[in-house]
Amino acid sequence: MTAARVWRALTAFLLFAVALVGAQAQELLPVPVLTARVIDQTNTLDAAQRQALEAKLLALEQEKGAQIVVLMVATTAPEDIASYANRVGNAWRIGRREVGDGILVVVAKNDRKMRIEVAKTLEGAVPDILAARIIDTEMKPRFRENDFAGGLNAAADQLIARVKGEALPEVDVNSGDFGGEHDDRGFDWEDLAIFLFFGVLVGGPIARALLGKVLGPLALGGVAGAVVMVVTASVVVAVLAGLGALLFTLLSGAFGAGAGRAGGRGRGGGWTPTPGGWSSGGGGGGFSSSSDSGSFSSGGGGDFGGGGASGDW
């Protein structure tokens, strides 16, 4: 396999990755940064209304540990509200890590649609039919009168009552895992980086041996990207991980061959796991789990499988 063919294959993969990221960016809205229990991108709620609803949801979290987050956006286009809410819920992972007790309420104001997305743990407490009833009886009539604060508060009251009646693990007040900043923000990026590093380190030689010097790295890059996509629900991070795995496998193969021809000299450089993520040589940096600018983050546990209901007004 000539060097020219290797670079042609690499260039084709890079162009495909760039095109995929560009298409995804054009098609889907980015997931907002989770900074509060009530996020209003439409400026519909005033400060007092947001604070009152925040206090209500905070009280539930302190008592039961469960998290309810309200998100108001102008539109979810081109996605329908159910797909958008599910994507946001799985990205935010609302609820405690070991429990997954989260609920997301999404209102798309310009679309005149709303959605209650329920994590799997709470689907018994808030089944689909109840979520639909809350939308129809509490939210819809108030939204039609432009009383968005009233509709959201009424829905929150109904959801809170149901969650309080559910047998959930008690809140560990000594852990600090409620009512403020959380150190658990979904999956652990450091663990993911280390897992990928050792996975590529072990899988690279195997992939090259089984599939060849070009197809092996391409296949391993695709597998790494797919794994990260499942874990993070981010196509951008998935593409970056796939590219990293591809380049690592290609370069490690080239360095390995060069070391062998040079009489077994040790391999210099390479990728190493660091507390901040992956780094090469003396460079630092890595992945950051989320913004530190807010005073609230998820517990890292909600698994949203599509439970809940949608409606309009």
Residues 42 and 168 in one domain: yes
Please, what sign has the CA dihedral across residues 104, 107, 108, 114?
positive
- Flag whether 286 is in a domain: no
pLDDT at 66 over 60: yes
Q: Which residue has the higher pLDDT, 225 or 254?
A: 225
Residues 138 and 198 in one domain: no
Domain count, the chain: 2
- Flag whether 1 is in a domain: no
Phi, psi (rounded to 5 degrees) for 114 = -140, 160
Q: Give the integer Cα–Cα distance in Å for 16 and 153.
A: 46
- Flag whether 295 is in a domain: no
What's residue 228's pLDDT?
66
What's residue 235's pLDDT?
66
Q: Give the integer Cα–Cα distance in Å for 309 and 123.
A: 11
Q: Give the integer Cα–Cα distance in Å for 109 and 146.
A: 10
Residues 131 and 203 in one domain: no
Residues 233 and 107 in one domain: no
> For 270, left (φ over 0), alpha (ψ -120 to 50), or beta?
left
Residues 160 and 307 in one domain: yes
Residues spanned by the domain of 203: 10-28+186-280
pLDDT tens digits, one per residue of 166-196: 988 888 765 544 444 444 444 455 556 666 6
CATH code, domain with 165: 3.10.310.50
Residues 199 and 128 in one domain: no
- Flag whether 96 is in a domain: yes
Q: Which two tokens stand for residue 53?
A: 């609803």
pLDDT tens digits, one per residue of 128-167: 999 999 999 999 999 999 999 999 999 999 999 999 999 8
Contact present, 36 and 296 (Cβ < 8 Å): yes
